[in-house]
Chain A
Amino acid sequence: MPKITLNGKSIEVADGITIIEAYKQLDEPIAHYCWHPGLTIAGVCRLCVVEIEGNPRLQIACNTVVQDGMVVNNNSEKVKTAVKWGLDFHLINHPLDCPICDQAGECELQNQYMEFGKYDPEMAEHKVKKRKVVDLGERIVLDTERCILCSRCVRFTNEVSKTNELGIFNRGDRSEVGTFEDKPLNNKYSVNTVDICPVGALTSKDFRFRQRVWYLKDKPSICTGCSTGCSVNVYYNEEGIFRLKPRFNKDVNGYWMCDEGRDIYKHINKENRMVRGRYKKDGAWCSTLPLETAKKAGEKLRTYSADQIAVLVTGQYTNEELDVFVNYAVNKLGTKNIFHWKNNPDGWNEFDGLLLRGDKNPNSKGLQKVLQKHTVGGEWKDLVNQIDKFKAVVVAGPENLQAYPDLKEKIGTLARLECVVWATADDNIAFEGLMDFTYLIPQKTSVEKSGHFTNYNGLEQKVDVVTTLLSDSLNLEETVELLVGESVDMSQREKEDMHVMKKNYFTTERGRL
Chain B
Amino acid sequence: MSIVKKPGAISNWYLPGIISGMIFTLRKMIYNIFHKDKMPTLNYPEEKYEYSPRFKGQHVLTVKKDGSIRCTACMLCATNCPAQCIKIVAAESEDPSVEKYPINYEIDVLRCVYCGYCEEACPVDAIRMGPEWQKPGANGSNFTYDIQELAYRPQLKGGIESRLDEQERHDFGI
What residues make up the interface of A, taking CB atoms closer than 8 Å to B? 97-100, 104, 125-127, 129, 132-133, 208-210, 212, 214-215, 507, 510, 513
Contact = CB atoms under 8 A, between A and B. Distances in A.
A209 B92 contact: yes
B84 interface: yes
Given A99-B74, A513-B79, A209 B100 contact: yes
A151 B84 CA distance: 40
B84 to A, nearest CB: 6
Nearest to B123: A99
B85 interface: no
Contacts of A132: 96-97, 99
A463 B170 CA distance: 49
B174 A133 contact: no
Given A100-B73, A132-B99, A126 B79 contact: no
B172 A212 contact: no
A215 B172 CA distance: 34
B79 A209 contact: no
B147 interface: no
B100 A100 contact: yes
Contact of B124 (A99, A104, A125, A510): A99
Contacts, number: 42
12 contacts: A99-B72, A104-B74, A125-B173, A129-B170, A129-B173, A132-B96, A209-B73, A209-B90, A214-B79, A215-B75, A215-B79, A510-B79
Contacts of B173: 125-127, 129
B93 to A, nearest CB: 9
Interface residues of B, number: 20
Interface string B70-110: 00111110010000100000111000110110000000000
A375 B84 CA distance: 58
A212 B100 contact: no
Contacts of A212: 74-75, 79
B103 to A, nearest CB: 10
A100 B76 CA distance: 11
A97 B100 CA distance: 11
A213 to B, nearest CB: 10
Q: Specify which of B72, B91, B100, B124 lies most central, judged by the most chain A CB atoms within 10 Å of its CB.
A: B100
Contacts of B91: 209
Q: Specify which of B84, B90, B124 lies most central, judged by the most chain A CB atoms within 10 Å of its CB.
A: B90
A208 B92 contact: yes
Nearest to B95: A133
Nearest to B96: A133
Nearest to B74: A99
B84 A507 contact: yes
Interface in B121-144: 123-124
A141 to B, nearest CB: 9
A11 to B, nearest CB: 40
Nearest to A511: B79
Contacts of B92: 208-209
Nearest to A126: B173
A205 to B, nearest CB: 9
Contacts of B174: 127
Nearest to A99: B74
Shortest Cβ-Cβ A-B pairs, 9 listed = A126-B173, A99-B74, A100-B100, A133-B96, A209-B90, A100-B72, A212-B75, A99-B72, A99-B123
Nearest to B173: A126
Nearest to A209: B90
Q: Specify which of A125, A133, A208 lies most central, judged by the most chain B CB atoms within 10 Å of its CB.
A: A133
